Amino acid sequence: MPGLRNRVPRTRDYYVWMILTRAFTEHPASVGESYTQHCVCAAGFGARMVLAGIACMIHAVLPFMFVRTGSRTIAELNERMVVNRRSASGSLPNTSQPSS
């Protein structure tokens, strides 16, 4: 039978590799990013949230400090995420403003 000699056998390792590749690329692709782009963006968001969280903990004890840091950070990160999603898909609704 012609063509059977050139066929690569599908081993268990091949399927594990495909599952892992999909696990690491499916979500980033769904938001219009490569794995590396998504990693950098998500790490940046996480770092900003940790720093804002620390500011909020300090604010809990010393209410005159970091008065707007937490809410401002949340608003900025939300806007960045919504704008990035909208530009990647071109069809998502604007969720940053309340509906009237």
- How many folded domains does the chain comprise? 1
**More confidently predicted of 63 and 98:** 63
The range of the structural domain enclosing residue 62 comes to: 34-87
For residue 27, being part of any structural domain is answered with no
66-93: average pLDDT:
81
pLDDT band of 8, cuts 50, 70, 90 = low
For residue 80, being part of any structural domain is answered with yes
For residue 78, being part of any structural domain is answered with yes
For residue 39, being part of any structural domain is answered with yes
Q: Residue 100 above 50 pLDDT?
A: no
Distance separating alpha carbons of residues 21 and 33, to the nearest angstrom:
15
Confidence (pLDDT) at 95: 47
For residue 82, being part of any structural domain is answered with yes
60-82: average pLDDT:
94
For residue 50, being part of any structural domain is answered with yes
pTM score over 0.85: no
For residue 44, being part of any structural domain is answered with yes
82 contacts: CB under 8 Å, gap ≥ 6: 92, 94, 95, 96
For residue 55, being part of any structural domain is answered with yes
Confidence (pLDDT) at 93: 47
Q: Which two tokens stand for residue 11?
A: 């081993």
